[in-house]
């Protein structure tokens, strides 16, 4: 069963074709890895799915509904949650309040209920001392807060855009465990990542993007042996 | 601590209500002006909390003034009702204009809202039959027969209502929406916030306040004219008061309006010539030394002390 289906999606920025005829299917309760070299269009894809950009052509079907033209806040309420690669937490709110924003507007909860749900999610992710000012958080805590914020909107599909960047090995391992825990709650997850090791460890299936096109799709072992992928991505890395 | 706060509220409110009993006519007039500027400053700040810097306060102030005077003169509605109509008219205009203008951001939004003022000046000046053109209109009698105490209480009620509105905006989900929009609109959208809806709501509510203040102003001085009623003073003074006191808080505008209002009056009495130079100097120094305003700076110091001791 697919939760999210993308058909023949194209997005151009002036003369630059950021995404060209992309097809993608997210199956219920899987963790899909989305990889590709810099400028491949990974973040653009996330932005088009979450409604920040509208596509030039193609369709986005979420949960059986065509959401191609829906504005971002509607998609969030329908159940597409996301994190941001460059996180800009709201400094006017503390940790808990930042998370609360998700449940207040993503699910339309009242203040009290939103507070309770945000507390639950913070606890679930191991985020403590949540009444704190966010300027004093560690990188790991900020990443957790960003995930908590997305989870608070109660998504069916969670798009994690380079959530591991900037973390050391131990911290990345902790986040990997958390992503698995989130999946075990019934969520479908798409992980965008640079580090191949994390993709190998975490994902069920991998999709490789290069210059706006899907060049390979399948299990990590298959994809990592594909000569096109090696020349486009792994070749640079090694 | 909480009780202590309520005691302060009660003392301040009782002092404010009883002010006309122990003050002379001149201080009552000054206080009335300060209170109306306070309401304007606070209404300007409420929209700023959503990241939108409006320079259109004078436009809604003027619309309120004109609607009040014209409905009072032509339809013979009571002065109080005409003020309410002034607020409603400003709100309706804000709703219609907001649908277009709130698609703009930053400097573009600021400039277009500034232009609104001039557009309305031109309209009012040319609808001579209705508005009296460049000369404006006079009301034969001042509201409450010109009783300064009554006018003061009316203005105080409006200022208090604005303070309560501001606190509602700070304590409910609107606060979370506006501050998220100000922080990052893309992140706000992705949290499920309908940005346009919240900004339009704030724009209309603040325009109603500005229209009501304009209406009272027109009834108090019993006339309207294009240059007086749409004067940019009603944009710039509240803006300066809010920035001096501290933006994004109710207390900031209250302190800014009080401080700057009293200072302006004191300077004017002390040195009739050149008081504006001192006034300007105070503004420049304050903004250079305290870019976050009085309340923002004090709050920052308190936080710093707290974190240093913990």
For A60-103, write each residue's pLDDT tens digit: 999 999 999 999 999 999 999 999 988 888 988 999 999 999 99
In this structure, are residues A188 and A30 in contact, taking their beta carbons and an 8 Å threshold? yes
b/e burial code for range A191-208 (CB count within 10 A of at least 16 → b): bbbbbbebbeebbebbbb
Chain A CB contacts of B192 below 8 Å: 73, 76-77, 102, 105-108, 153
Interchain pair A153, B186: CB under 8 A: no
Residue B272 in 3-state DSSP? coil
Range from A36-40, B58-62, B134-138 carrying the lowest mean pLDDT: A36-40
Among residues B203, B180, B202, B199, the alpha carbon closest in space to that of B191 is found at B180
- What's the residue count for chain A? 238
Would you list the DSSP string of chain A? -EEEEEEEEEEEETTEEEEEEEEEEEETT-EEEEE-STTSSHHHHHHHHHTSS--SEEEEEETTEE-TT--HHHHHHHTEEE--SS----TTS-HHHHHHHIIIIIS---HHHHHHHHHHHHHHTT---TTS-GGG--HHHHHHHHHHHHHHT--SEEEEESTTTT--HHHHHHHHHHHHHHHHTT-EEEEE-S-HHHHHHH-SEEEEEETTEEEEEE-HHHHHH-HHHIIIIIHHH-
Pairing mode, strands A188-192 and A157-161 = parallel
Among residues A11, A153, A176, the alpha carbon closest in space to that of A82 is found at A153
Q: Residues B160-209: pLDDT tens digits?
A: 999 999 999 999 999 999 999 999 999 999 999 999 999 999 999 999 99
pLDDT given at position A233? 66
- The Cα of A72 is separated from the nearest Cα of chain B by a number of Å equal to 6
- Cα(A155)–Cα(A140) distance, integer angstroms: 22
HSE-up (13 A, CA, CB side) for residue B148: 14
pLDDT at A235 > cutoff 80: no
Compare CB distances from A76 to B172, B180, B190 and report the shortest one's residue: B190
Compare CB distances from B190 to A50, A93, A100 and report the shortest one's residue: A50
Interchain pair B192, A76: CB under 8 A: yes
The residues, ordered by sequence, that sit 6+ positions from A156 with a Cβ below 8 Å of its Cβ are A3, A63, A79, A80, A187, A188
The torsion angles phi and psi of A155, rounded to 5 degrees, stand at -80, 160
Would you list the DSSP string of B63-82? HHHHHHHHHHHHS---HHHH
- Number of inter-chain CB pairs under 8 A, A vs B: 74
In this structure, are residues B139 and B78 in contact, taking their beta carbons and an 8 Å threshold? no
Chain B CB contacts of A70 below 8 Å: none
Read off the DSSP letter of residue B53: -
**B19-39 mean pLDDT:** 95
- The structure tokens 């193609």 sit at A58
- The structure tokens 């409450």 sit at B144
pLDDT given at position A124? 96
- Cα(B50)–Cα(B248) distance, integer angstroms: 9
Integer CA distances (angstroms), A58 to A63, A66, A217, B12, B77, in order: 17, 11, 19, 62, 59
Among chain B residues, the shortest Cα distance to A48 is held by B190
pLDDT given at position B52? 95
- The Cα of B25 is separated from the nearest Cα of chain A by a number of Å equal to 43
pLDDT at B1 > cutoff 70: no
ipTM value for the complex: 0.92
Under the banding of pLDDT at 50, 70 and 90, the label for residue B20 is: very high
Q: Which of A220-224, B3-7, B31-35, B291-295 has the highest mean pLDDT?
A: B31-35
In this structure, are residues A40 and A212 in contact, taking their beta carbons and an 8 Å threshold? yes
Q: Which of A54, A72, A160 to mutate to test the interface with B (most CBs of B within 10 A)?
A: A72
pLDDT given at position B299? 87
- The Cα of B51 is separated from the nearest Cα of chain A by a number of Å equal to 13
Chain B CB contacts of A102 below 8 Å: 191-192
pLDDT given at position A228? 85
- The Cα of A51 is separated from the nearest Cα of chain B by a number of Å equal to 8
pLDDT at B309 > cutoff 80: no
Pairing mode, strands A157-161 and A57-62 = unpaired
Under the banding of pLDDT at 50, 70 and 90, the label for residue B272 is: confident
Burial class (CB in 10 A: 0-12, 13-18, 19+), B17: middle
Interchain pair B189, A72: CB under 8 A: yes
Range from A28-32, B200-204, B276-280 carrying the lowest mean pLDDT: B276-280
Among chain A residues, the shortest Cα distance to B172 is held by A111
Interchain pair B187, A88: CB under 8 A: yes
Q: Which of B181, B191, B195, B197 to mutate to test the interface with A (most CBs of A within 10 A)?
A: B191
A129 contacts chain B (CB < 8 A): no
- The structure tokens 């302006």 sit at B264
Under the banding of pLDDT at 50, 70 and 90, the label for residue B2 is: low
Chain B CB contacts of A77 below 8 Å: 192
pLDDT given at position A234? 56
- The Cα of B92 is separated from the nearest Cα of chain A by a number of Å equal to 26
pLDDT at A236 > cutoff 80: no
pLDDT given at position A1? 77
Integer CA distances (angstroms), B179 to A4, A60, A133, A211, B121, in order: 31, 31, 15, 37, 33
Interchain pair B183, A91: CB under 8 A: yes
In this structure, are residues B135 and B216 in contact, taking their beta carbons and an 8 Å threshold? no
Compare CB distances from A153 to B176, B191, B303 and report the shortest one's residue: B191
Q: Residues A121-167: pLDDT tens digits?
A: 999 999 988 888 888 889 999 999 999 999 999 999 999 999 998 89
Range from A139-148, A191-200, A206-215 carrying the lowest mean pLDDT: A191-200
Interchain pair B177, A105: CB under 8 A: yes
Interchain pair A101, B193: CB under 8 A: yes
Burial class (CB in 10 A: 0-12, 13-18, 19+), B163: middle
> What is the CA A50 to chain-centroid distance, rounded?
9
pLDDT given at position A238? 44
Interchain pair A88, B184: CB under 8 A: yes
Interchain pair A72, B180: CB under 8 A: no
- Cα(B107)–Cα(B122) distance, integer angstroms: 23
Dihedral sign computed on CA atoms, order A68, A74, A77, A83: positive
- Give chain B's mean pLDDT: 93
Among residues A40, A74, A37, the alpha carbon closest in space to that of A54 is found at A74
pLDDT given at position A237? 46
Q: Residues B113-167: pLDDT tens digits?
A: 999 999 999 999 999 999 988 899 999 888 898 899 999 999 999 999 999 999 9
């Amino acid at each position: 069963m697919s939760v999210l289906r993308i058909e023949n999606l194209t997005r151009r920025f002036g003369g630059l074709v950021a995404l060209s005829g992309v097809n993608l299917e997210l199956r219920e309760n899987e963790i899909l890895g989305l990889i590709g070299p810099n400028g491949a269009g990974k973040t653009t894809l996330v932005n088009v799915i979450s409604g920040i950009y509208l596509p030039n052509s193609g369709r986005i079907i979420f949960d059986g509904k065509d959401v191609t033209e829906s504005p971002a806040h509607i998609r969030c309420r329908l159940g597409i949650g996301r994190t941001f690669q460059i996180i800009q937490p709201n400094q006017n709110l503390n940790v808990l309040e930042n998370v609360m924003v998700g449940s207040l507007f993503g699910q339309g909860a009242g203040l009290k209920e939103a507070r309770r749900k945000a507390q639950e999610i913070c606890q679930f992710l191991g985020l403590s001392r949540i009444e704190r000012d966010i300027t004093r958080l560690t990188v790991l805590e900020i990443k957790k807060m960003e995930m908590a914020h997305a989870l608070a909107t109660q998504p069916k599909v969670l798009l994690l855009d380079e959530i591991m960047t900037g973390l050391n090995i131990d911290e990345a391992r902790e986040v990997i465990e958390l992503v698995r825990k989130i999946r075990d709650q019934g969520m479908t997850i798409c992980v965008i990542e640079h580090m191949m090791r994390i993709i190998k460890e975490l994902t069920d299936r991998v999709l490789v993007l290069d210059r706006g096109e899907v060049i390979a799709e399948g299990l990590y072992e298959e994809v990592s042996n594909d000569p096109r992928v090696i020349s486009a991505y792994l070749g640079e890395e090694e | 601590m909480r009780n202590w706060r309520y005691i302060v509220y009660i003392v301040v409110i009782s002092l404010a209500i009883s002010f006309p009993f122990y003050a002379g006519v001149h201080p009552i007039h000054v206080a009335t002006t300060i209170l109306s500027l306070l309401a304007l400053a606070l209404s300007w700040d409420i929209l700023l909390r959503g990241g939108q810097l409006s320079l259109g306060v004078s436009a809604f102030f003027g619309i309120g003034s004109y609607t009040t005077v014209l409905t009072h003169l032509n339809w013979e509605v009571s002065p109080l009702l005409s003020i309410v109509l002034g607020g409603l008219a400003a709100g309706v205009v804000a709703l219609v204009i907001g649908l277009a203008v709130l698609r703009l951001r930053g400097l573009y939004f600021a400039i277009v809202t500034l232009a609104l003022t001039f557009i309305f000046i031109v309209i009012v000046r040319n609808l001579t039959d209705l508005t009296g053109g460049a000369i404006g209109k006079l009301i034969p009698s001042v509201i409450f027969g010109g009783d300064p105490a009554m006018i003061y209480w009316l203005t105080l009620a409006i200022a208090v209502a604005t303070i309560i509105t501001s606190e509602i905006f700070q304590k409910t989900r609107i606060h979370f929406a506006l501050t998220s929009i100000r922080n990052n609109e893309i992140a706000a959208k992705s949290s499920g916030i309908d940005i346009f809806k919240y900004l339009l709501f704030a724009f209309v509510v603040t325009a109603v306040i500005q229209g009501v203040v304009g209406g009272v102003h027109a009834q108090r001085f019993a006339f309207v004219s294009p240059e007086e009623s749409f004067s940019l003073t009603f944009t710039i003074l509240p803006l300066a008061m809010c920035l001096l006191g501290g933006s994004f808080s109710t207390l900031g505008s209250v302190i800014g309006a009080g401080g700057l209002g009293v200072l302006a009056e004191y300077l004017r009495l002390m040195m009739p010539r050149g008081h504006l130079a001192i006034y300007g100097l105070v503004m420049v120094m304050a903004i250079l030394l305290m870019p976050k305003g009085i309340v923002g700076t004090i709050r920052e110091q308190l936080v710093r002390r707290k974190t240093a001791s913990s």
